[in-house]
């Protein structure tokens, strides 16, 4: 059968189960768009390539499938880089197709040429330049396999225009064979035995779960593990939702803006079990004093995560789900857990006292507090919405005041901390879950970074809801300036923003505003339950800060409190 490169791509995409692509056409990918139009794959036309990648990211996280984007060469490809870097930091499975100038022009500084394989090398799991149409099918298969196995991540395929247009005799590729790529899924049994031994002896154990638990779909295994062994659980930003927030063992988030008790627990614990985490600096604070009294167990599928930032007593390289399943069954056979609750009583009493002395709190005055908006959002959605965020204070308040019960419900740019992420990610999540309520909690600064995507949402009738916590500042930077730079608010005042209600209307969306606390609930009710794309502008306290806060580089137990 003779097929063009473009036809091969469509064929293999179908084989890989792709039903949605986020993208933006251009000269180098016209052939592909022409072919794509003849398939039943849904194409979501974004308004900027960064939006396409973030949308594919949100789609991947909400659906558990690989996100796919298609952009053109040159500026199309460079615009995608931020999104790719964000997906790389958060280990999101994604395949990005970029157009490229015809192969004979590569290296000639041709129109819309850029060495995107070179540019993205440090921020992709792997990337390819298609040099022969004959290799195309194999490369696509490999890309999907690499993106979605081991520690997931984005894979980029750069496709010269002539490779896509060329017709070849197509031979179906069946299996992916990569001689050097072989992720370790099964943990070493001896290491797991050591973990069990440590659990047995621990008086003040703590579980620290991260995005890896969500990626390996190990949430129920984790819950079983924590409940069985009676170990309190904290999580990184990326791990929110992997353990139900309503469980008495839940401590809240760990880190720079973590809860008082979660941070104190790491300082006091004698066993810390890190699962699917990478001990990022926003979590550890000063590494020397992080969990300094504890034996640290680190379970992760990526060996480079282990001992990268902190020394570990028991490294376990393996898939979180499989590791937890094995630990759970080993506990059944080996551990006498009847005395555990008794043994840990002192520890739990301690935790309870930390919770009651320093709960997450704020005082609602006659100006709307941003925390109040998130809390109301939580109440009205019964904790069941998919919440995406932008980056900064809006992100931290969402993490603190929206209590996640299930994984895949909190979608945020954790590692890269990429402003402008939330709206396109919400679009992607809404595409993946058309029947769910998807809310982007945004700041007035970050929403302006990708607000062009309102047009995408309206065009594709995606009823995403955007909650803008509008304080007229780049709030998180302002907070740092207040605390550490003598209140010199250099370039963080953002009072010159558009009227978001009018902006919404200009895009054909619904715009609502609340300026007083008593209006918050009504606006949320009206906005959340509308069938349309809605932008809700909440005029909030201008100089509210996120607490607790650990200054960068300080021990995680040294918190600034309200």
Partner 1 sequence: MKEEHIFSMLVDNQPGVLSRIVGLFSGRGFNIESLNVAVTCEPNISRITIMTKANKPIVEQIEKQLNKLVNVIKIRDLTGPDSVKREMALICVNARPENKAEILRIVDIFRCKVVDVGTEHYTIEVTGDEGKMKAILSLLKHFGVKKIARTGIIALFREPK
Q: Which residues are catalytic?
A: 49, 111-112, 161, 476
Q: Which of 111, 177, 178, 384 binds partner 1 (CB under 8 A)?
A: 178
3-state helix, strand, coil in the chain (%, to 5): 40, 20, 40
In the complex with partner 1, which residue's Cβ is closer, 178 or 561? 178
52: Cα separation from own chain's centroid: 15
Q: How far is Cα 496 from Cα 516, in angstroms, rounded to an integer?
A: 21
Strand order from edge to edge, sheet including 510-514: 410-411, 386-389, 438-443, 465-470, 534-539, 510-514
Report the run of H or E that residue 308 belongs to, with start and end. Answer: none
Q: How far is Cα 537 from Cα 523, in angstroms, rounded to an integer?
A: 9
Tokens of 49: 């390539």
The radius of gyration computed from the CA coordinates of the chain, to the nearest angstrom, equals 24
If one asks whether residue 345 binds partner 1 (CB under 8 A), the answer comes out as no
If one asks whether residue 118 binds partner 1 (CB under 8 A), the answer comes out as yes
Interactions with partner 1, residue window 125-144 (CB under 8 A):
125-126, 129
Residue span binding partner 1 (CB under 8 A) among the ranges 306-314, 382-390, 495-503, 534-542: 306-314
Token pair 């009227």: residue: 499
Q: How far is Cα 392 from Cα 327, in angstroms, rounded to an integer?
A: 37
Residue span binding partner 1 (CB under 8 A) among the ranges 124-132, 187-195, 201-209, 419-427: 124-132
Could you tell me which of 83, 43, 59 has the C-alpha nearest to residue 436? Answer: 59
In the complex with partner 1, which residue's Cβ is closer, 181 or 480? 181
Q: Which of 217, 308, 403, 406 binds partner 1 (CB under 8 A)?
A: 308
If one asks whether residue 341 binds partner 1 (CB under 8 A), the answer comes out as no
If one asks whether residue 302 binds partner 1 (CB under 8 A), the answer comes out as yes
Could you tell me which of 55, 52, 91 has the C-alpha nearest to residue 75? Answer: 52
Number of H helices, E strands in the chain: 22, 20
If one asks whether residue 185 binds partner 1 (CB under 8 A), the answer comes out as no
Residue span binding partner 1 (CB under 8 A) among the ranges 74-82, 178-186, 278-286, 376-384: 178-186
We find the least distance from the C-beta atom of residue 470 to partner 1, in angstroms, to be: 38
Q: Which of 121, 171, 461, 525 binds partner 1 (CB under 8 A)?
A: 121
- CA geometry: angle at 390 spanning 118 and 310, to 5°? 65
Tokens of 239: 């791990």
Tokens of 94: 């994604």
If one asks whether residue 307 binds partner 1 (CB under 8 A), the answer comes out as yes
We find the least distance from the C-beta atom of residue 340 to partner 1, in angstroms, to be: 34
If one asks whether residue 179 binds partner 1 (CB under 8 A), the answer comes out as yes
Q: Which of 180, 339, 361, 488 binds partner 1 (CB under 8 A)?
A: 180
In the complex with partner 1, which residue's Cβ is closer, 42 or 307? 307
Interactions with partner 1, residue window 88-117 (CB under 8 A):
117
Point out which residues bind partner 1 (CB under 8 A): 117-118, 121-122, 125-126, 129, 146, 178-181, 302-304, 307-308, 311
């Amino acid at each position: 059968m003779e097929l063009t490169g473009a036809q091969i791509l469509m064929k293999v995409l179908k084989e890989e189960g792709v039903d949605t692509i986020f993208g933006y056409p251009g000269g180098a990918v016209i052939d592909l768009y022409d072919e794509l139009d003849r398939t039943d794959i849904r194409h979501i036309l974004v308004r900027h390539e960064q939006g396409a990648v973030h949308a594919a990211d949100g789609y991947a996280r909400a659906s558990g499938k690989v996100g796919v984007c298609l952009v053109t060469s040159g500026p199309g490809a460079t615009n995608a880089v931020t999104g790719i870097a964000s997906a790389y930091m958060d280990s999101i499975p994604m395949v990005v197709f970029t157009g490229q100038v015809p192969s004979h022009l590569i290296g000639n500084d041709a129109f819309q040429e850029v060495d995107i394989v070179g540019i993205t090398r440090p921020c992709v799991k792997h990337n390819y330049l298609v040099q022969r149409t004959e290799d195309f099918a194999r490369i696509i298969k490999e890309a999907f396999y690499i993106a979605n196995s081991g520690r997931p991540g984005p894979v980029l395929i750069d496709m010269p225009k002539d490779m896509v247009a060329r017709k070849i005799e197509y031979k179906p590729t069946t299996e992916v064979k990569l001689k050097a790529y072989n992720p370790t899924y099964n943990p070493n049994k001896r290491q797991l035995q050591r973990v069990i031994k440590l659990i047995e002896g621990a008086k003040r154990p703590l579980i620290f779960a991260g995005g890896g638990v969500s990626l390996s779909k190990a949430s129920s295994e984790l819950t079983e593990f924590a409940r069985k062994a009676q170990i309190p659980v904290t999580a990184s930003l990326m791990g929110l939702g992997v353990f139900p927030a309503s469980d008495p063992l839940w401590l809240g988030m760990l880190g720079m803006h973590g809860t008082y008790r979660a941070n104190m627990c790491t300082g006091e614990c004698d066993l810390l079990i890190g699962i699917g985490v990478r001990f990022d600096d926003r979590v550890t604070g000063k590494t020397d004093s992080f969990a300094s009294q504890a034996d640290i167990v680190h379970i992760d599928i990526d060996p480079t995560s282990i001992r990268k930032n902190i020394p570990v007593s028991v490294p376990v390289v393996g898939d979180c789900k499989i590791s937890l399943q094995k630990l759970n069954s080993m506990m059944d056979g080996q551990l006498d857990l009847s005395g555990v609750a008794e043994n840990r009583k002192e520890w739990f009493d301690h935790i309870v006292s930390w919770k009651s002395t320093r709960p997450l709190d704020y005082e609602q005055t006659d100006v709307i507090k941003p925390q109040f908006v998130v809390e109301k959002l939580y109440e009205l959605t019964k904790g069941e919405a998919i919440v995406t965020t932008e980056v900064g204070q809006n992100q931290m308040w969402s993490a603190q005041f929206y209590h996640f019960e299930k994984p895949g419900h909190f979608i945020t740019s954790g590692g890269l901390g990429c402003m402008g992420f939330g709206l396109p990610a919400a679009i992607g999540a809404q595409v993946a879950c058309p029947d769910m309520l998807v809310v982007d909690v945004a700041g007035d600064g970050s929403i302006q970074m990708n607000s062009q995507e309102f047009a995408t949402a309206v065009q594709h009738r995606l009823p995403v809801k955007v909650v803008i916590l509008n304080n007229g500042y780049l709030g998180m930077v302002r907070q740092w300036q207040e605390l550490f730079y003598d209140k010199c608010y250099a370039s963080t005042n953002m009072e010159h923003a558009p009227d978001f209600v009018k902006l919404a209307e200009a895009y054909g969306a619904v715009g609502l505003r609340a300026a007083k606390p008593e209006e918050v609930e009504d606006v949320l009710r009206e906005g959340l339950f509308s069938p349309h794309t809605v932008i809700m502008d909440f005029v909030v306290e201008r100089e509210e800060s996120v607490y607790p806060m650990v200054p960068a580089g300080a021990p995680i137990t040294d918190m600034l409190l309200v």
